[in-house]
A and B are shown apart, each in its own frame.
Chain A
Amino acid sequence: MTASSTAAEASAAARANPKTSWLSGDPRRLIAGILLVVLALLMLPPLWILFLDSFTEQDAIGEITGFTLGHFAKLLADKRAVESAWNSIVFAIGSTILSLLTGGVLAWLVERTNAPFKVLAYLATIISMGTPFILHVIAWLFLLGKVGPLNDLYRIVTGADDNLFNVHSMTGMILIEGFLWSPLVFLMLGATFRAANADMEEAARMSGATVFDTLRRVSLPLAKPALLALSLFVFIRSIGAFEVPALVGMPARLYVLTTDVYAATIHVPPDLGYAAAFSVVMVAIMAVLLYYYGRLSRNAERFASVTGKGYRPRPFDLGTGRWIAGAIIIFNFMIVLVLPLITLIWMSLLPFPKSFGLSGIPLLTLDNFKAVFTVGGYTELAVNSITVAAGAATVVMLLTALAGWIAARNGPGGRVLDQLATISLVFPSICLGVAVMEVYLRVPLPIYGSLWIIVIAYVIRYMPFGMRYVYSGVLQLHKELEEAAGVAGAGAMTTLRRIVAPLLSPALIAGWLFIFLIANKELAIAVLLASPTSKVIAVAIFDQYVNGQGGELAAFGLCWTVLMTGIAVIFFAQMRRGAADVYGN
C-alpha cells in the first residue's frame, strides 16, 4: 500500500466521520436540522406578523399598501391606551402582592411548621389545577356580585338597599386574580421552603431566636431571591391575564392592555393595526421582564441550600399558635375551593340565578345536569377540548423531547433550539391569539376556523413548558448513562431510543399531563381563534356566561372539573414518582 492511498483512505474516513464530540454525528445533526426548520416555521411567523401589522397600512383584504408609524402614534395619543396600560400595572401589582401573601403564608405554614390540616392546602391546589380559570371567576362574580351573598348579607344586616361592594372594579379584579394565583404560588414557594436547609433555621433557634425572629432574619432572607423571581413571574402572568379583566373589568368599562387588544380585534371592523401595535408594545415589555426574570431565577438557584440524600426538614413547633395556623389554612381552603364550589353547585341546581337562601331550596332541580348530558353540543365540546389539548400536548412533547435533549446535552444547534422553543414566552396569550389568527388568515391552507388553528396556537404557547420539563429531566439523568451506551457500541439513534427515551418517560408524561391540563383551562388564545363549529370549553363557558346561561354552564363546568381533577390527581402522582426516581446519581 502506498503512502498516498493511505492518506486518501484517511481523508475519506474523515469525510465519513466529521465528529466533534461523540454524539454529534450525522443522526443528531439531521434531527437538529429538521427541528430547527419546524420550530422556526412554527414559532417565528406570529412574531413577524405582529411587527408587520403594526408598521404597515393594509387594505380591507390584508394587502400591504404602505409603511407607517401611525398605529404607534395613535397609541400614544389615545388617552384610553395610556389608561389601560396604567390599569394593567395596578392590576398586576395588586394581584401579585395578594397572591404572594396568601400563597406564601400558606406555603410556609404547610411546609415548615407543625400546623394542622395541611392536606386541605394540597387538596385545594390539585382541584384548582383541574378547574378552568373562568369557572372560578364566574363563581367569584356571583359571590361578590349584586345578588351574591356578601351584598345580600350587608343589606339584611344594615337594612340598606345599596351594595357594600362593587365587584366590577379594580379591587374586585385584584381580589379575584390574586386568589386565582395563590395555589400556584403555594406550589412554587412550597418547593423553595422544602428545599431550604433546616440546619440554618435550627442554628438560629439554638442561638436564642424566637420563631418570628428566625423567620425574619434567616428564613425570609434565604428565600428572598426565590420570592423575587416568583413575584416577577406572577407579575408577568398578571399583565398577560385575560379572564378576570374580561369578565370583571370589561362590564364596568375598565380596560387593561389585554382586554384593549381583545376589544380592538373583535370590533367591527377590526382595528388590527392598533391591536398589533399594542401587542408589539406588550411583547417588548414582556421580553424585558423575562430577561430580568431569567437573571433573578438563576440567582435564586444559586441561593438554594439543598443538602444531600435522606434529608428531611424539621418543622417549627408553633405551640398553641398552630391552631391559629390551622385556622388560616382552613380559611384559605374555604376561599380558594369551598366557596367557589358551593356557588357553582348552587348555580347548577337552580333554573335561574338567585341569591343563596332558603327561598331557593324548593326550586332546586337537576334539570341543568340533565341538559348537559342530553342536549347536543356539550359532548361535542368536551371531545373538542380533549382532542385539542391532547393533540397539542402530544406535538409539544414529541418536539421538545428531541429539542430539549439536544439542548440539555449541548448538542448541535442546542442553544438556538432552546431559544426558538421558548420564544413564545414573550406573548401574552391574547396577543398570541391575534398573531396566530393573522398568520393563518394569510396561509392558503384550510386551517383558519378549524380546530387545527387552536392546536397550533397551543403548541406555540406551551412549547416553552415542554422544553422546561424535558430539559430538567435530561439534566437529572447522569450523562454517563448515555456515554456508557456509546462505549458499548450503540449509535446516537439507538442511544436515544433505548436509553434516553425510557429514562426520560416520567418527565415526558408529567409534561404531557401539565400541558393537557393548562390547555384545557386556557381561554385567552382560543377566544379569538374558535369558530362556532370549533369551540373549546373555556370559550363556550365564556360565551354562555356573556349570554346569561348561568345554570347549565355551572352544571357543565362542574362535570368538567371532576374529570380534569381526576387527571390532575394523576399528574401529581406522576410528579411524585418522577421525583422519587432520579436516576444514575
Chain B
Amino acid sequence: MLSVANLTKIYANKFDTQAGGVRDASFELASGTFFTLLGPSGCGKTTTLRCIAGLERPDSGRIAVGDRVLFDHQLGIAVPLNLRGIGMVFQSYAIWPHMTVFENIAFPLRVSKDRKYQRDEITRMVEEALDTVGLGGYGERPATRLSGGQQQRVALARAIVSRPQLLLLDEPLSNLDAALREEMRAELRRLQQQIGVTTIYVTHDQSEALAMSDLIAVMENGRIVQLDDPRTIYFRPASAFVAGFIGAANLITGTSQDAVAADGIGAVRLEDGSAIACLFPKGSAAGASVTVALRPESIEVVPEGQQAASGEHMLRGTVASASFLGGSGRYDVQIGPRVLRVVGSAETMVGAGATVGLTFPPTAAVVVGG
C-alpha cells in the first residue's frame, strides 16, 4: 500500500555535523498495517513521518501510496501536502481554538479539492466520525473546552473524517497522563482495526510500540536498524542498541567459540573464562568478539548450590542490591567484574549480600553483534 524507498532528509547544523534527519529509509506496508517508527528523540522518526505527510521535502528517495507517487526525487515529483489526502494527528493535537468541535472535524471536508461535499453529507460524516471516537453529541462544544483526552479524540476524528488511505500519528499519547495513555492505547488500536486504515505511528515508548504494532521499525541516528514484528524485535534484537532500547537488557561481551549449531545455539566464552550457551544470528563466525543481550526478566534467581535445569546455564554471583517494586523484585547481581540486572518474583526475595545462582535458557541470551 505505502512504499517508501531510500528516503533521505538531512538537517545540517552550524557545526556542519549531522543534526538529525533520516538516511536511506525504506519500507513497504501492506494495506491495514499498524506500523510503528520507534526510537529515541532525534533518531529521525518524526522526520520520516513529516516527509510522508508532505510537511518536509526529502533530499532524495521515493514515496508512493498504491500507484500514486507522492514524492520522487529523480522524477521531480512532490505532491503538495494538501493534495495528498492523508490523515494526521499531531503531537499537540493542533485543535483550532477558534472553532467548535464540529467545525474542527468538518474542516477537511470543507476545504476538499477532490470533491464538493453537500451540507447534509458533511453533517453525517462528522457525526459518524464523532461517534467512532466516542464523542457523539460533543459537536457544538467550543474546542477550548475539552480535556486532553477529548482533544486527542477530536484530532483523531478530524484525521479520519475524509476516510484517508493513510493515517499518521505523531506521538499522540505523549501529552496524556499515564492512566489515560493506557486507555487510549487500546482505543487507538481498536479504532485502527475497525476502520482498517494503514497507520504509521511515531513513538519513543517501546511498550506502546510493542502493544499496538503489526510491524516496528527501530531507528537510530537517522537509520532504520531493525524492521520486524514486535515479537521478533523483542526476542531477537538485531543489535545491542535495539536490545537496550526495547527493554533494559544486560549487555555482556565475550568471544564466540567454535561452530554454531543448526538451531543457532552456540557457546560464548566470557572474559572470566566461563562459557554460556547463546542464540546466534545466521552466519556468525567463530572466534569473533560478540555482545550478548540478556533480558532481566528471563533470568531466574536460585539458591546457591542448586543445579541448573538441563540445557540451561548457571552463573554464580553476589546480590549487590535488592529492591522491592511491588509487582516484582529487582536485583543487581555482581558476577565477577560485571553487574547483571535481574527482575524476579517479589513474593520471596533474597537480601543483599547473599550468594545466588542465576539461570536462563540459551534462547534468552541473544548475540546481538560485535
Contact = CB atoms under 8 A, between A and B. Distances in A.
Interface of A: 6-7, 10-11, 13-14, 17, 19-22, 25, 478, 480-481, 483-491, 494, 498-499, 502-503, 581, 583-585
A27 B159 CA distance: 25
Given A486-B54, A487-B53, A491-B113, 8 more contacts: A11-B76, A14-B78, A22-B54, A22-B56, A22-B81, A480-B92, A483-B55, A584-B95
Contacts of B168: 487
Contacts of A14: 75-78
21 contacts: A11-B76, A13-B76, A17-B77, A19-B57, A19-B78, A19-B80, A22-B81, A481-B94, A483-B90, A484-B88, A484-B155, A486-B82, A487-B53, A487-B54, A487-B87, A489-B82, A489-B113, A490-B107, A491-B111, A584-B95, A585-B92
A155 to B, nearest CB: 64
Interface SS majority for chain A: helix
B158 interface: yes
B111 A490 contact: yes
A485 to B, nearest CB: 7
Contacts of A489: 82-83, 85, 108, 111-113, 162
A21 B51 CA distance: 10
A13 B112 CA distance: 20
B98 interface: yes
Contacts of B91: 480
B72 A10 contact: yes
Contact of A488 (B78, B80, B93, B111): B111
Contacts of B82: 22, 486-491
Contact of B55 (A486, A491, A581): A486
A480 B94 contact: yes
Contacts of B85: 489
Contacts of A584: 92, 94-95, 97
B113 A488 contact: no
B108 A488 contact: yes
A585 B76 CA distance: 36
Q: State the 3 A-B residue pairs at the shortest beta-carbon distance, nearest first.
A: A14-B76, A10-B75, A484-B94
B55 A487 contact: yes
Contacts of A10: 69, 72, 75-77
A499 B96 CA distance: 7
B86 interface: yes
Contacts of B77: 10, 13-14, 17
Contacts of B54: 22, 486-487
B107 A21 contact: no
B225 interface: no
A20 B57 contact: yes
B111 A494 contact: yes
Contacts of A480: 90-94
B252 interface: no
Contacts of B107: 485, 488, 490, 498
Contacts of A6: 75
B184 interface: no
Nearest to A492: B82
Contacts of A487: 53-55, 81-82, 84, 86-88, 159, 168
B55 A22 contact: yes
B302 interface: no
Contacts of B98: 502-503
A107 B55 CA distance: 45
Contacts of A484: 88, 90, 94, 96, 155, 158
Contacts of A491: 80, 82, 111, 113
